[in-house]
Chains A and B, each alone.
Chain A
């Protein structure tokens, strides 16, 4: 993964407008957060949820925020720093904290992950 190129990511997001895509969305501060006294362990992930979005935007100066507008709702991720379009043409977006650990991920694919 590379540091976000906002224009490139925006173009990739735009490519998937109004088609069925599968989304992986995740955020976590780690299962050991409570154990190491770095706060309450919190996290959530959904994987391979199919949806359509009618608009998408990447905003910010880095780390970035990304919002996908759905017919009836939203998908949102904050703290995104890195991205990659992988060999299966999937858009992988991730927010890595200063230690390089994954804190948030938003991934979009035409096929299930």
Chain B
């Protein structure tokens, strides 16, 4: 990996970062690169309330807030900023308003790299609204000041549309931490974790994509 000055992570839901990029983030923080995470919502409209049940619609935001803090501890993120937006509503916000929030962070932190979803390839409307805000915010900067943007594309036909990911990060050295970060988001990930642990034990090929490698597409702003 190239040496980065500061990495800005922008996702709408607690756990988006764990699945998509916690290994990469951990490697940055381990090597002393400061990482700031703008987390849009508290995932308060999530359907998972724990199995066995341990939350309800009204207690879920607090549960997910704590899980997010735990995950950030695992990833070594010391600068977590919860934006206080409401889950499932980001696409209805004024996109310039969302971009303002990201833009402010870009100006303040001057990151060399931004991790987010790949605009229009995030499947969930909140994902796309947040990555769109990143794109607008980065575009506002003078060209020479723009950070590199790594986008995570998860449409079924993303490869068909934008080609293979051009960034492949070997995260084998922090695979355990990645699993731990995913595990921290317990209310959302309990089913996944058991599956991953089983695959890890059996050395199943799927584990390569989950825990040994993270891939991104460089987004040309």
Q: How far, in angstroms, from A99 to B48 measured CA to CA in the complex?
A: 9
Are B50 and A100 in touch, CB under 8 angstroms? yes
Chain A neighbourhood of B45, CB < 8 A:
26, 28, 45
Query: How many contacts A-B (CB < 8 Å)?
Result: 56
Q: Does B47 contact A (CB under 8 A)?
A: yes
Contact with B along A36-56 (1 / 0, CB 8 A): 000000010100000000000
Q: How far, in angstroms, from A82 to B88 measured CA to CA in the complex?
A: 23
Chain B neighbourhood of A26, CB < 8 A:
45, 57
Are A113 and B58 in touch, CB under 8 angstroms? yes
Are A92 and B48 in touch, CB under 8 angstroms? no
Are A101 and B58 in touch, CB under 8 angstroms? no
Are A101 and B47 in touch, CB under 8 angstroms? yes
Q: How far, in angstroms, from A107 to B60 measured CA to CA in the complex?
A: 14
Chain B neighbourhood of A90, CB < 8 A:
58
Q: Of the candidates A32, A92, A105, which one forms a contact with B124 in the assembled complex, judged by CB atoms under 8 Å apart? A: A32
Q: Which residues of B contact A (CB under 8 A)?
A: 45-53, 56-59, 88, 123-126, 156, 191
3 cross-chain pairs, A with B, having the tightest CB-CB distances, nearest first:
A100-B51, A101-B47, A102-B47
> What would 19 more interface pairs be, CB under 8 Å, given A100-B53, A105-B57?
A1-B53, A24-B57, A26-B57, A31-B123, A31-B124, A31-B125, A45-B88, A82-B53, A92-B58, A94-B49, A94-B56, A99-B51, A99-B191, A100-B49, A100-B51, A101-B47, A101-B49, A102-B49, A113-B58
